[in-house]
Structure 1
Amino acid sequence: MSLSSRRRFLQGALGAASALPLAMATRRLASANPRGLARRVIFFYYPDGIAGRSQNGEPSLWSASGRAPSIALGELLSPLSAIAGDCVFLSGLSMGSTDEGSHPGGAKKLLTAVDGGNGESVDQYLARTVGRSSPFRHIYLGAMATQNNASGDKFISYPSAGVTVAPEDDPVSAFRRIFSGATPGTPATSIDAGVASSDAGPAAPVAGVDDGADGLSLDTSLADLMDLRASLGAAERTRLDVHLDALHEVQDRLRGMPPSMPPTMADAGGVVTVSDAGLRPPPSLRCDAPSMAFDAPTGAGLFAPENFPAVLRAQIDTMVLAMACGMSRVGVIQASQHTSELIMSRFRGTDMYDPGFDMRSHQASHYGARQDRSNRLFSDYVKQVRWWVSQFGYLVEQLKSRPEGDGTMLDHSLVLLCSEVSDGNTHSHQDMPFVLAGRGGGCVSTGRAMSFDGRRHGDLLATIAQAMGASVDTWGDAGSGALPGLLG
């Protein structure tokens, strides 16, 4: 196999930053992580807060205390019990009083730490600084985040003051754009759906990324793969095999998943068929909704609430794979949007499922002044928040399951769980629900709960930026510096 064809394969299968052999790309990724710095950061957002301190003063159900292996987690955080030793549970952080009582106000401040979103968000800052040499400096994936032509403050990533960028909501499109085999136009290319200010309409497409007509097909490269493996050392062969196995797994699921394919009313026994030229259809694949058949890879099915869990899972897997392949150091996963109309009672196989009643996320979050278990709004809201937390747990577990260097991907990562308000009913911006997972290359000691009485959450963002190697002392319009004791 010629060097040029080998390079083309690497760009398609592993998304190498430039036309380099795998060995060189792998070494570049390893050398990009000085000891004691995080190799990557992922921000995981979900909407509508938590069952925090209630209007009547009842204590928050979001609580953690102690140190591993004896961390005590409250009801909402208990889905993370298996990975508590990999997390830092942060309490007491404030987003300030400006626009308190507002979902949009919280979303604007969440990653900017600036009132009204009048500043760059920390993910975008890290993308253009420490992430600038990556194939994609920023990967922003969503699940129903752009529903109902959302724009402006429905999104949390701000490349500049007052201007948001929309996430890529389609996992098939995201997979193609990341792994299409096309060399990104510049190292500054981002994966998202375009820019939308608070006054703009739906996001405009981003130019400069070729989606590729055969982005989900690797089979034709198998012969080249065997040739390539023969030229690699044992460690590099192992890494290649791990990543390609995962690539095939995600590829196969995306070929047959229902979320990105609009449903027809015909019952085909759950068999998925794909007619798009960009996908090579398998003979038959089963989907999670056996009463629906899907016959095209784009359309309304992407926004069907019953498909949401599969869409989100695919986006998580795609993000992990992109990070594993060295495609980016900075990622954001936005699950839905604030004041979410997502009907979570249509999630099959969960304790929320009720085909006879449509319970929306935002609807449940307004459970009233009391934490009343007999109130369906409150009881469903607790189930919803626990489900969101479990999805963050899945992301963390996927990173933990992948070997990297002297440990796992999680050991070299930082992953932040966040929402735009604390208590969903009062819309408080105090005692915000943050969980930080990962050891950040050794700079974060996990397995503990930390309390910061009234410190601004921008100090957490500054701490994350420093852990990524950025030269910042403070973040936001009221920051005072990195959180004491979180690093080191």
Structure 2
Amino acid sequence: MDHKYKKSDLALGRRVFLKALGAGIAAPLAFRMSSLAMAEPSAAPVRLFIYFVPHGMPMEYAEPYGSGADLLKGSMVLSPLAPFGKYVNVCRGLGINGFGNHEAVAGVLTGVKDGAGADSIDQIIAQALGVEAHNLGANPYPRNQDGTGFDKNSYLIKHGGVWVRPTEDPAAAAASMLGAIGGGQQGGGSPPASDEAAFRNEALGLTERQLERMQGALSGLTKEQNKLAVHLESVRSIKAAADRPVVNGCTSKPALPALDALAGKDVFAQANLRSVIDAHLEVAANAMVCGTARVVTMQNLWVNCDLPMDFSGGPGSGNPYHGATSHSREAPGRMEFASIQSWFFARLAEKLLTILDQPDPLDPGNTVLHNSLIYVCSEIGDGADHNSDVHDVYLGSQIVHSYLPAILIGNAGGRIASRGVVDVDTDHVNMLATLGDAMGVPVSQLGAQSAQPIQELKS
């Protein structure tokens, strides 16, 4: 429903603006003050976080049981998400048809085999919004191995037709996503005056309709209208700027204890994998809270990763993660696999979701988690069969119905409904279109493949 200003609102805005000018306040700040007095709150920016965990999952330990508050408590894999159950959708029936084995990783976010002719969905969304698509990786392999064992089947992200290796150092990620807070704009330069910074952030939240309403409110005041006309153009220039402006809801840099604890440690050392994951999640969460990062992807390990997972603070498995564990068809191995996958969800819950479940500084009436969408995905359905389509996995006398893991957490500012378990029975490109739709970016085609949002997930 279109909001209409009452005459009293317009009069209030006019009085505030004129009084501010009369008090010697510069026109830009006077405009900001009058806008705050009369304009309806602007919608908070929606944030997207994509969390990739390799090798799929053993669905017999992942299937959620119960309903309502007990939705996830019976799931060995997903139980860490139980405190956030009111935000969760577990999507059953998603498949990547026509892919095989771990090669599907190239299509997880591009939507097409080998990523041919398509950028990944994070880049598509970020470009449409005029923001940066941040790409993080917890991958304990030295960079000098790049090109000797890692190819397009190791990467999730494709930007501008080029496969992109993620940023593995959380300190570098923090500089990129939080560097503009409390220390000037990224790339150097002096920090803006507080009034100017506050005005810039407010201006970026104003809609064109709000600007037109303010202009109309002052239509009878020629001198001030002329000043306002000049100012409106500067606001529109800020909003249309090609330098990817940052909307900042934080006045100082947040505390980052996990990142501080990683200082001086080798981010490529397998023993530090938990510390790297925690620091990346902590940095991303705080940047999402502040609004300085709206599109973030995090890749946990490469596919075919055969690391033992018995490092400090890890899930405690000494077996090779890829071969012995994710390929297992025996009950002990399947349970071990479930325990490892659950550990990744526990890190997500503790270091990202807990931070996001607080009032949004850009929309205090809602939580940041409500105004975000977290998509947890993998390249295959079940490590034992390496299937990426909807598929029955035979474990001796037991048959397990498998599909591509797809968990959504958050409401994207109200665009995504929380319905618990949702049977979608569709191709995964439609999930990518759903992410775009939730971020306000229509996506109807990925490469040569058509796509449409999944209606069952929409509010």
Per-residue CA deviation, residues 290-314 of structure 1 (Å, 9 max, x unaligned), is xxxxxxxxxxx21222211111111
1:114 aligns with one of 107, 112, 115: 112
2:105 & 2:302 partners in 1: Cα distance?
9
**What whole-Å deviation, never above 9, does each CA across 1:355-399 have from its counterpart, x for those lacking one?**
xxx4332134344334x12xxx43321211110121222322221
User: Which structure 1 segments of 5+ residues have no match?
Assistant: 1-19, 53-59, 185-208, 213-220, 263-300
Do the aligned partners of residues 38 and 474 (structure 1) sit closer, same or farther apart at CA in structure 2, a change above 3 Å counting?
A: farther
Q: Give, in whole Å, the separation in 2 of the partners of 1:34 and 1:460.
A: 27
Q: In the TM superposition, what is the alpha-carbon distance from 1:74 to its structure 2 partner?
A: 2.3
User: 2:215 corresponds to which residue?
Assistant: none
Matched, 1:485 2:456: yes
1:42–1:331 CA contact under 8 A, matched in 2? yes
What's 2:437 paired with? Answer: 466
Given candidates 355, 361, 379, the residue that maps to 2:321 is 361
Which residue is equivalent to 1:47?
Answer: 54
2:155 maps to which residue? 155
Q: 1-side partners of 2:45 and 2:175: how far apart?
A: 27
Aligned counterparts of 2:138 and 2:88: Cα–Cα separation in 1 = 24
The amino acid across from 1:95 in the alignment is: I
Alpha-carbon spacing, 1:145–1:326, altered in 2? closer, same or farther (3 Å)? farther
Tell me the CA shift for residue 253 of structure 1: 4.5
For the residue of structure 2 that corresponds to 1:69, the secondary structure is helix
Structure 1 residue identity aligned to 2:358 = S
Letter in 1 for 2:104: G
For structure 2, the residue ranges without an aligned partner over 5 or more in a row are 1-27, 203-246, 390-402
1:50 to 1:80, Cα distance in 2 relative to 1, 3 A = same
Deviations, residues 133-163 of structure 1 (Å, cap 9, x unaligned): x3xx1111111266442443312011144x3
Provide, for residues 177-218 of structure 1, a one-character-per-residue CA deviation record: whole Å limited to 9, x for no partner: 33444644xxxxxxxxxxxxxxxxxxxxxxxx67x9xxxxxx
Note if contact 1:145-1:337 (Cα within 8 Å) is conserved in structure 2.
Answer: no
Alpha-carbon distance in structure 1 between the residues aligned to 2:71 and 2:405: 17
Relative to structure 1, the CA distance from residue 249 to residue 322 in structure 2 (aligned partners, 3 Å threshold; closer, same or farther) is same
What code does the residue aligned with 2:48 have? V
Counterpart secondary structure, 1:485: helix
1:169 matched to 2:168: yes
Q: Which has the larger radius of gyration?
A: 2
Residue 416 (structure 1) shift: 0.3
Say which of 423, 443, 454 aligns to 2:415: 443
Q: Which residue of 2 aligns with 1:125?
A: 124
TM (norm. structure 2) is 0.68
User: Cα–Cα, structure 1 residues 329 and 403, in superposed 2: closer, same or farther, change >3 Å?
Assistant: closer
TM-score, length of structure 1 as denominator length: 0.65
| Structure-1 separation of matches of 2:45 and 2:104 | 27
Q: Which position in structure 2 is the counterpart of 1:426?
A: 385
8 Å Cα contact 2:57/2:405 also seen in 1: yes
Q: 1:77 to 1:145 in 2, by over 3 A?
A: same
Q: Quick check: 2:177–2:284 contact (8 Å CA) kept in 1?
A: no
Q: Residue type of the partner of 1:254?
A: L
Instruction: Give the Cα separation in 1 of the matches to 2:125 and 2:133.
Output: 9
Q: 2:281 aligns with which of 316, 320, 343?
A: 316
| 1:71 aligned residue | 71
In the aligned structure 2, how far is the partner of 1:140 from the partner of 1:69? 33
> Is structure 2 residue 133 aligned with structure 1 residue 138?
yes
> What is the aligned partner in structure 2 of residue 283 from structure 1?
none
- 1:62 counterpart letter in structure 2: A
How big is each residue's C-alpha offset from its partner over 1:198-240, in whole Å with a ceiling of 9 and x where there is no partner?
xxxxxxxxxxx67x9xxxxxxxx9xx99x959x989xx9xxx9
From 356, 364, 368, the equivalent of 1:399 is 356
AA aligned to 1:417 is: V
Amino acid at match of 2:62: W
The answer to whether the 8 A contact 2:369-2:410 is kept is: yes
1:167 alignment partner, SS class: coil
**1:474, distance to aligned residue in structure 2 (A):** 4.4
Q: Deviations over 1:116-144 (max 9, x none)?
A: 111211101011112x1x3xx11111112
Identical pairs, percent: 22
CA root-mean-square deviation: 3.5
The one-character-per-residue Cα deviations of 1:50-80 (angstroms, maximum 9, x if unpaired) are 113xxxxxxx322135652342542211221
Distance in structure 1 (CA, Å) of the matches to 2:349 and 2:324: 22
Q: Matches of 2:371 and 2:359 in 1, distance apart? A: 11
Q: 1:388 aligns with which of 328, 333, 344?
A: 344
The letter of the residue matching 1:304 is A
The answer (yes or no) to whether the contact 2:61–2:335 under 8 Å persists in 1 is no
Q: What amino acid maps onto 1:399 in structure 2?
A: L
Contact 2:177 2:293 survives alignment (8 Å): no
Give 1:483's aligned amino acid. Answer: I
Per the TM alignment, residue 337 of structure 1 is displaced from its structure 2 partner at its CA by: 1.4
Q: How does 1:74-473 map to 2 (within 5 A)?
A: 74-98=75-99, 100=100, 102-103=101-102, 105-118=103-116, 119-130=118-129, 132=130, 134=131, 137-144=132-139, 147=142, 148-149=145-146, 150-161=150-161, 163-180=162-179, 181=183, 183-184=185-186, 228=194, 243=250, 247-250=253-256, 253-257=258-262, 261-262=264-265, 301-348=266-313, 350=314, 352-353=315-316, 358-370=318-330, 372-373=331-332, 377-394=333-350, 395-404=352-361, 405=363, 406-430=365-389, 431-453=403-425, 455-473=426-444
2:137 partner amino acid: G
- Secondary structure of 2:94's counterpart equals coil
